[in-house]
Amino acid sequence: MIKAVVLDFDGTLAVLNIDFSAMTKKILSFIEEHGISRESLRERYILETIDEASSILLRREGSLAEQFREKAHKMLREKELEAASQSRLFPGVESMLRKLRIAGVKVGIITRNCDGAVRRIFPHIGSLCDAFLPRDSVKRVKPDPHHLATLLDILRVSGNDAIMVGDHPMDILAGKRVGMRTVGVLTGRTTRDELLETGADYVLESASQVTSLIERLNR
């Protein structure tokens, strides 16, 4: 029985127009300005890269690390807010969220994006879901299991009774780590094959098809 659905935001509920490669370039040159070569970094994704550089700085000269982190996050937020002003919800998203509520299915939304950018696209997000956890609200973001585990706690459901929906392999990975069934959607930049390779249990054209999937699973 599916009692809760957790949805990713960008690329799942809203048009994904964040230019991650431009963002990464900008952050990497900022990191290099601090005497850390990009070749020495192991992390692949931008938030984790900032954390990695900041712990290198902390070991080197503690006082700079916090300042670096704050500035890097400020640069990130500026880009995210800029992208948000050009984004919008996909058609059918609001009615899908209402249908889930009527069906008695709890809804959670999690994202690695910042609170401000999401609310710029979806100002009344709070009234259409039971819990919303942007990166500002948690210590570690998905694919770290902490992000989803925190949300499931708030919703008071176990991973076995919930389904994770997202457009990125990270969403699938995060869901699997807490025992959820996972649904990949094709409205982002990842292909069906990539989502299936990561272990997605289902792949849908868009998140608005989630309501019929749940009806089917709960029948």
Binding site for Mg ion (CB under 5 A): 8, 10-11, 167-168
Among residues 9 and 68, whose Cβ is nearest to Mg ion?
Answer: 9
- What is the closest distance, in whole angstroms, from the C-beta atom of residue 110 to Mg ion in the complex? 10
- What is the closest distance, in whole angstroms, from the C-beta atom of residue 150 to Mg ion in the complex? 18
- What is the closest distance, in whole angstroms, from the C-beta atom of residue 130 to Mg ion in the complex? 20
Q: 3-state DSSP call for residue 65? A: helix
Taken in order 131, 135, 138, 140, is the CA torsion positive or negative? positive
Order of all β-strands in the sheet with 202-204: 131-133, 106-110, 4-8, 162-166, 181-185, 202-204
- Ranges of beta strands (E only) in the chain are 4-8, 106-110, 131-133, 162-166, 181-185, 202-204
DSSP string, 84-106: HTT--BPTTHHHHHHHHHHTT-E
Among residues 168 and 177, whose Cβ is nearest to Mg ion?
Answer: 168
- What is the closest distance, in whole angstroms, from the C-beta atom of residue 206 to Mg ion in the complex? 13
Q: Return all residues near 145 (Cβ < 8 A) that are at least 6 apart.
A: 174, 177, 178
Among residues 109 and 131, whose Cβ is nearest to Mg ion?
Answer: 109
- What is the closest distance, in whole angstroms, from the C-beta atom of residue 166 to Mg ion in the complex? 6
Residue with the CB atom nearest Mg ion in the bound state: 11
203: left (phi over 0), alpha (psi -120 to 50) or beta: beta
Among residues 8 and 54, whose Cβ is nearest to Mg ion?
Answer: 8
Among residues 130 and 167, whose Cβ is nearest to Mg ion?
Answer: 167
